[in-house]
């Protein structure tokens, strides 16, 4: 596996080593030893999966402490534009976003530590998205930042995505008092 740091501290792109032949392909999507060696010590305790049609936008979600979640995300089928926002107070990249295309073709994964809002836009029908989480889902701890917050200015390349009712009522980052602290 190849672990690549991004311009946002602690956010890591992971490219697995893929073995392909006439039968198909094989790759390790998670190996605790390799992740620990790369500085990712999370204890992933819940796996989630979603299926979406093209144009569905899920995000920008996070859970507040004490139920905050780290995530390891990837696409099994189809493709997404995956986006995270750094919401850690004191971070040199607070309020900045990072985006990457994750697809079944590139098999790239993204490690998202605690202190980030996360979302994705499906680019193909029947996109199957998978994520490991560092804590259990807790509805009362769940919050969100507006997907189209003008201060963050994410280029989703879509005007009217399919949104849940919850995602239509998220708040702007400027109205969010973040409980997350950046640890240098």
pLDDT digits (tens, 9 = 90+) for 32-75: 999 999 999 999 999 999 999 999 999 999 999 999 999 999 99
Given a contact cutoff of 8 angstroms between Cβ atoms, the answer to whether 72 and 131 are in contact is yes
**7-13+42-175 is a CATH 2.60.120.10 domain:** yes
pLDDT tens digits, 133-172: 999 999 999 999 999 999 999 999 999 999 999 999 999 9
- Each domain of the chain, given as residue ranges in start order, spans 7-13+42-175
Q: Choose, from 25, 30, 131, 137, the residue flagged as catalytic.
A: 131
pTM, rounded to two decimals: 0.96
Q: Is 30 among the residues known to form the active site?
A: no
Q: Is 131 among the residues known to form the active site?
A: yes
Q: Choose, from 25, 30, 61, 111, the residue flagged as catalytic.
A: 61
């Amino acid at each position: 596996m190849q672990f690549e740091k991004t311009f946002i501290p602690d956010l890591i792109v992971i490219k697995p080593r893929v073995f392909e032949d006439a039968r198909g392909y094989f790759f390790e999507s998670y190996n605790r030893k390799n992740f620990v060696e790369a500085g990712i010590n999370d204890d992933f305790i819940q796996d989630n999966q979603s299926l979406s049609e093209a144009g569905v936008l899920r995000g920008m979600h996070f859970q507040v402490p004490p139920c905050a979640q780290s995530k390891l995300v990837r696409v099994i089928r189809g493709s997404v534009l995956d986006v995270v926002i750094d919401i850690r107070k004191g971070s040199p990249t607070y309020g900045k976003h990072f985006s990457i295309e994750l697809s079944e073709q590139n098999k790239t994964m993204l490690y998202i530590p605690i202190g980030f809002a996360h979302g994705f836009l499906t680019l193909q029908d029947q996109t199957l998205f998978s994520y490991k989480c560092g804590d259990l889902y807790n509805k009362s701890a769940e919050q969100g930042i507006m997907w189209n917050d003008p201060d963050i200015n994410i280029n989703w390349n879509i005007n009217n995505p399919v949104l849940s009712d919850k995602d239509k009522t998220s708040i702007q980052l400027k109205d969010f008092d973040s409980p997350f602290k950046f640890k240098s």
